[in-house]
Amino acid sequence: MNGRLIAVANGRLLGEITRDAKGRLRFTYDAAWRADDTAYPLSLSMPLTAAEHGHDRIEPWLWGLLPDNENVLARWARRFQVSARSAFSLLRATGQDCPGGVQFARAERAGRLLGAGPREVDWLTTANVETRLRTLRSDNSAWRLEEDVGQFSLAGAQAKTALLLESRRWGIPRGVTPTTHILKPPIPGFPGHCENEHICLAVAGALGIPVARSRVCRFGEETAIVVERYDRTKVGGRLARLHQEDLCQALGRSPLNKYESEGGPGCRDIGGAVRSYCNRPGEDLRTFVKAIALNRVLGGTDAHARNFSLLIGAAGNVRLAPLYDLASALPYPGHYAPRLKLAMKVGGEARLGYIRIRHWERFAAEVGLPSEEVLGICQSVAAEVPDRLADVVAAARSEGLDHPVVGRLHQTVTKQAKACVAGLRG
C-alpha cells in the first residue's frame, strides 16, 4: 500500500517518508530544512549531504523507535488495524511522540503539528495513574488504554508508559505537546527492580556520569520508577523536543541485532561513532569507558548498543547522551557474578569474572584511548563505587525505599567492586 509519513521537528517540516506499492520506503529531506544552517539530520546514518535515503537506511531506523515487545506491537496492530510487521504503518498511528526530536504523522494530519500549535493535554488524577500502572503490571502491552487519544512510541521491551508532568499534575499530551517522563512498573521475576534501577543511576551520577534523572514513586498502591526524559527541554517557557538516536540507529543497524553476540555493535563500533561524530570525542569516550567499567562493577548485563545514545543538536552538535536503563543483576538469586556476561565484550571477554588487565588494554585500543588512561578510569570507578553506593543507599532509605533489594544490592555490588579493585592490581 502506498502512503506518506511526514516528519516534523518542533513545528518545522523536516522531511517525508514515502512507501511504494511494493512496500519499499524512501526518506526525503525537505529542501528548506537542508538549506538551514541550524538543521540536523534525522539520523547520523542519513546525512544532510544527500537529499534522499533508501529503504535499507530508513526502515531499520524506524524500527528503532518502536518497542522490542511483540505483545505491544500486536496490540497496536489490532487497535489501529495495521500490520504489526510494518514500522511505517505503526508509526503512522503512534508516531506523534517518539524518542528524540521528531514527530511523525499522516500527510492529512501533519498540519496540526506544524507551527507552534495549541497545547493539548488530557489530565489524570493520581488514582488514574495508579489504575494505569496496575493494568500495565498485569498486562505488559497496555502502554496506553483503548480510550486514549494521545499516543506515543518508545523503544525497549519493558512495560512502560509516557506522560506529561506539569505543576505536579500528570497528563496524556497530544498534538505538538510532548511527554516529559517515562513510568515503569516493577518487572515480574525481578522484585525491587524500580529501586535497583534508581539506585544504579544515582551511583552513576555520583561518579560524574551524565544520567537520566529518576525517582521511585508511589501512586496509591502501585510503585513505579519515574524517569525524566533528557530529550525534552524548555525553550522560551515552552516544552520542546531534543533530537537523539541510539547507537544502532546511528550506525545504521537493525534493532534486532542490538546485542554484540547476535551481530550487533560492540565497544569498537561505539568508540568509532563517538570519535567520528561527537564534538568532544575525548570527553565522551572517557564517559563511555566509565559507563562500561561501572557496568562491570554493578553486574549490569544489558548495556547493549541501544542503551547508549547520541544527542544531535543544531549545526552538527553531537554529544553522548545521558546514561539510562542501568540496573544490576547481582541481587537476584542464580546470578553468579563471575559468570554473568556484559552485553558488549571488553577486549574480547564478556564474563565479569574473567576480565583482566590485558582485556582492558585491548579495549583501550578498540575505543582509541591510551591504556594507562583506561586502566586509571577503571581503577577509579571500582574504588569509588562502595562509598558512592553507601551514600546513595542511605539517601534512598531516608526517602522510604525499604525494599529488601536495596540491602542485597548494597552487599553484592560492594563485594563485586572489591573484587574488581583486586583484579586491576595485576
Identify the DSSP state of 279: S
What ranges make up the beta strands (E) of 76-159? 102-106, 119-124
Per the rule left: phi > 0, alpha: psi between -120 and 50, beta: everything else, 84 is: alpha
Helices and strands: H and E segment counts in the chain: 12, 18
Reduced to 3 states (helix: H, G, I; strand: E, B; else coil), residue 107 is helix
CB 287 within 8 A of CB 326: no
Q: Which of 326, 106, 307 is nearest to 207 (CA)?
A: 326
Residue 211 main-chain phi, psi, to 5 deg: -135, 160
Could you give the angle at which helices 281-298 and 404-423 cross, rounded to 10 degrees? Answer: 110
For this structure, is 302 an active site residue?
A: yes
Angle at 129 between CA 123 and CA 132, to 5 degrees: 120
Contacts of 251 (CB under 8 A, 6+ apart): 45, 265, 269, 273, 305
Q: Which of 169, 137, 167, 143 is nearest to 155 (CA)?
A: 143
Report the C-alpha gap between 321 and 334 in whole angstroms. Answer: 32
Reduced to 3 states (helix: H, G, I; strand: E, B; else coil), residue 38 is coil
Neighbours of 68 (CB within 10 A): 16
Identify the DSSP state of 112: G
Report the C-alpha gap between 247 and 309 in whole angstroms. Answer: 5
CB 346 within 8 A of CB 361: no
Q: Which of 302, 325, 391, 402 is catalytic?
A: 302
Q: Which of 150, 147, 144 is nearest to 129 (CA)?
A: 144
Reduced to 3 states (helix: H, G, I; strand: E, B; else coil), residue 200 is helix
Reduced to 3 states (helix: H, G, I; strand: E, B; else coil), residue 235 is strand
> At 132, which amino acid appears?
R
- Using the structure block, give the residue that is written with the C-alpha cell 591510551: 370
Positions marked catalytic: 302
